[in-house]
Structure 1
Amino acid sequence: MSELQVVATIPAKPEAADQVREALLTLAAATREEEGCLAYDLFESGSAPGTFVTVERWTDSAALDAHMATPHVAAAFGAAEGALSGEVSIHPLQPVG
């Protein structure tokens, strides 16, 4: 299988942006140690503060599936419970052209 690239957006409530940021920083550090993770970068939108974006590269879809089942993903979702202003959107990317 070929590499998988993923973009995820995580919208935090304004009053909870710091809480979500800390949870995502912890998640990013743990994720970068995963066997199938090639890159995991965390950003905050410059035009929509409190909207966090991950840009990820995985060895394959099985590595992403394994990531989603890790305790650190569950902990991040638990830490963000009630702190999000919308749904987390995960976008596995397909090349165009």
Structure 2
Amino acid sequence: MTELQVVATIPTKPEAADAVREALTTLAEATRAEDGCLAYDLFESGSAPGTFVTVERWTDSAALDAHMGMPHVAAAFAAAEGALSGEVAIHPLQPVG
């Protein structure tokens, strides 16, 4: 099977960035322990503070699907409720060329 690479962006309201940062840090730590997670890195944009980006590697799409059903994912989405300045965008990546 081919590894799956994913990038997600999470835009937050400035006043909520600290709380979302904390929730996403907890999410990242728990996610790294999941079966099927090869890498899960959390970043904050240097040009758009409060916009968080995850760069992820999964063994396959089934592992990503399982991740999306985990309690720590639900907790992170609950923590972000009302704190987002736009939509969370999850991008499974396809190689080019």
**What TM bracket, shorter-length normalisation?**
over 0.9
Q: CA deviation at 1:60?
A: 0.2
Q: Distance in 1 between matches of 2:19 and 2:87?
A: 16
Q: CA deviation at 1:14?
A: 0.3
**C-alpha RMSD of the superposition:** 0.3
Q: Percent identity?
A: 89
Name structure 2 gaps, 5 residues minimum.
none
- Moved runs in structure 1, 4+ residues, more than 2 A? none
TM normalised by structure 1 equals 0.99
Q: CA deviation at 1:69?
A: 0.3
Q: Which amino acid aligns with 1:30?
A: A
Note if 1:49 corresponds to 2:49.
yes
TM normalised by structure 2 equals 0.99
Matched residue, 2:36: 36
The aligned runs of 1:7-86 (5 Å cut-off) are 7-86=7-86
- Partner SS for 1:42: strand
